[in-house]
Chain A
Amino acid sequence: MKHRTFFWFILPTLSAMILFIALPIVSVFIQSLFVEHEQVLVVSESCGPFGCTQTTSIDTEATEALRADSPLGQYNGLGTYFDRSHLATAEVAEIWKASTGLASFVDGIMDLKFYKALVFTLTYTFVVTPAVLILGLAIAVGVNNLPKALRGIAIFISLLPFLVATIVGSMILSWMLDGEGIIGATLQNIFNDPSLTIKSSTPLMWIALIIYGIWHTLPFSFIVFYAGLQTVPGDTLEAAKVDGANKWQTMINVVVPHLMPLVSFVTLMLLMDNFRVFEPIVSFQAEAHAQSLSTFILSDLREAGNPLYASAGATSILTIIGVAILLSPVVVRTWRDFSAKSH
């Protein structure tokens, strides 16, 4: 294909991606370098019979004018990145000095909102991803052993939790886990503790969110592995059987190695999607117990009347750096494959 033709074919999609994905990233970065204007204060003196008093009031008009004049705010450099609600370098140093051991250091760090969100995001990602991989493989093998007629129904039911909107699916689950919902109330009866609710306990909320994450993404890994199982060569299975391998041994030594490329594909997808965990926290109304990097951005943008673009921008850039770190092994590997092919 000629360069010119290629250009015209790719133009619509490329311009959409540049305008609405690449430029917003630049825009986010620029936003993160500025900080909102402070309100313009006017000091007025009112003198009465008992002497003069000075009152400070906000000059709304001047503040508005300033904001309209330069909506980005004033230049702040990388200041926002290191402030109290982001990397908080000063606070971390202080906690490090004051802490007596690792445990107290971690305790102190968890009081800082950015690190709390980061810890939750990482915990969620690295618990949900392996759990979904293992359970998905197990269920794929199970469904593969089912009679043909039942497989279709099993896949139909499995697709439901995956395809339902995250916000809707997590809402459904949160109603059931609620203190008055069927699962929540049953748990209270079993443990005979009426105060046991996900809304009142951080660890329970984390567990609920992780269970939701597994429920929601398990179908994806199951479907991919199930499709992979259809391609396992029959001869190899036969040979394993002749050599006296039992089902478990065949599974570990033949089937799993065959599925390995799929495992790395599913892992990549899961890491990308789990790292941006966001909707379940909104639906579970879990902000008090669990914040992820994404909900952190949302709450900055939702700040009534005056969205905190700088803070949201800084968190966004830090999130993008996180994504880049997660993706780097894949990009490096693809690059190696590519250059190996071209030489």
Chain B
Amino acid sequence: MATKAESRLTTFKLVSFALVGAWLIIAAFPFLWTIWGSFKVQGDFFSKADWTNAVFGVLTTRETGGAFTSNGYFGAWVQEEFWKNVLNTLVIVFFTVIISLTFGTLGGYALARSGFRYAFWILMAALIFRAMPHITLVSGYMLPFFEWNIWGLKGTAIIVLVAINQPFTLWMLHSFFKNIPKDMDESAMVDGCTRFQAFWHVIVPVMWPGVITTGLFSFLLAYNDYAVTSMLLSKPNETMVPAVASFLGSVQVQGNIMFAVAAVVSATAPLFVLILFFQRQIVSGLTAGAVKG
């Protein structure tokens, strides 16, 4: 009896370990392969004849003299001026995150402390807005923005990204503020603070864990966005993600697909660092909405 249960246990464990192992390989391999391959020439990266070429860089050695080459990176960053897109991304992402958090904190706090019926409806509306495909919203912006002559500016994209970010930010910060005991700010108000003073002196000092977690997701949304940035930014204001996508079209013709590969690796690298430092916050943010319902 005991041995039978034991053996069942091992089969169960064996199957689940195999599954986890397979998943981890499938999850990591594309990244490792692309990072490794970004230091090779195109003939090696797309090595149809023999895949070991891509590992040992046979053609790379033949063409450049070494097993690794940074030609792709040079081409992307210097020749195609990818650094400009990196700067644009920094500006747009920074302001999007700061403004989103400011708006979201105020709104989320109000929703968490208000028992009125319309607070519920605002949250429901936010949920529905959260589900709107971004490209349908973009098709609503294009014509008015062209008419008002504000199409293509960084500021326009920042405001739009902030707005698209709001539903998610509101939900997250609302559930976070609900967990901060009401007594804290209410006792401050009994002591003669106005609502805003209570918020500023009592809530702001303790809200940072929730704000940082929410900020991470605002960052990811702005950093990874394609629909808005590709349609609403002019060429000189383009961020990394649409730039990578347009590389794909232009460099493929010239046979410089390695530029796109190098740009993709450059755009992904910051995310590795982000996950490394903020893994715990990201996990808690992903589950926050779920656990609290």
A173 and B26 alpha carbons, distance in the complex (Å): 11
The reply to whether the CB of B183 lies closer than 8 angstroms to some CB of chain A is no
Among the 9-residue stretches A83-91, A96-104, A108-116, A312-320, the one with 4 or more Cβ atoms under 8 Å from chain B is A312-320
The reply to whether the CB of A252 lies closer than 8 angstroms to some CB of chain B is no
Q: Are B102 and A12 in contact (CB under 8 A)?
A: yes
Q: Are A139 and B20 in contact (CB under 8 A)?
A: yes
A293 and B133 alpha carbons, distance in the complex (Å): 10
B interface, over-half SS: helix
A298 and B133 alpha carbons, distance in the complex (Å): 12
The reply to whether the CB of A261 lies closer than 8 angstroms to some CB of chain B is yes
Q: Are B33 and A138 in contact (CB under 8 A)?
A: no
Known contacts A266-B290, A331-B124; is A181 also within 8 Å of B46 by CB? yes
Q: Are B283 and A166 in contact (CB under 8 A)?
A: no
Residue of A nearest to B28 (CB): A157
The reply to whether the CB of B9 lies closer than 8 angstroms to some CB of chain A is yes
Among the 9-residue stretches A45-53, A57-65, A216-224, the one with 4 or more Cβ atoms under 8 Å from chain B is A216-224
Among B4-30, those with CB < 8 Å from A are: 5, 8-9, 12-13, 16-17, 19-20, 23-24, 26-28, 30
Q: Are A158 and B139 in contact (CB under 8 A)?
A: no
The reply to whether the CB of B212 lies closer than 8 angstroms to some CB of chain A is no
Residue of B nearest to A16 (CB): B163
Q: Are A224 and B287 in contact (CB under 8 A)?
A: yes
Q: Are B143 and A31 in contact (CB under 8 A)?
A: yes
Range for the number of chain A residues in contact with chain B: 35 or more
Which of A12, A71, A175, A265 touches B261 (beta carbons < 8 Å)? A175
Q: Are A31 and B139 in contact (CB under 8 A)?
A: yes
The reply to whether the CB of B191 lies closer than 8 angstroms to some CB of chain A is no
Q: Are B27 and A20 in contact (CB under 8 A)?
A: no
B17 to chain A, nearest CB (A): 6
Query: Could you name 17 residue pairs across A and B whose Cβ atoms are closer than 8 Å?
Result: A1-B195, A25-B137, A71-B147, A72-B143, A158-B27, A164-B224, A168-B241, A171-B260, A171-B264, A185-B47, A246-B5, A261-B290, A297-B135, A309-B143, A320-B133, A331-B124, A331-B128
Residue ranges of B at the interface with A (Cβ–Cβ < 8 Å): 5, 8-9, 12-13, 16-17, 19-20, 23-24, 26-28, 30-31, 33-34, 45-48, 51, 54, 102-104, 106-107, 109-111, 113-114, 116-117, 119-120, 122, 124-144, 146-147, 159-160, 162-164, 166-167, 169-170, 195-196, 220, 223-227, 231, 241, 244-245, 248, 260-261, 264, 267-268, 271-272, 274-276, 279, 282-283, 286-287, 289-291, 293
5 closest A-B pairs by CB: A24-B140, A20-B163, A13-B107, A9-B110, A142-B16
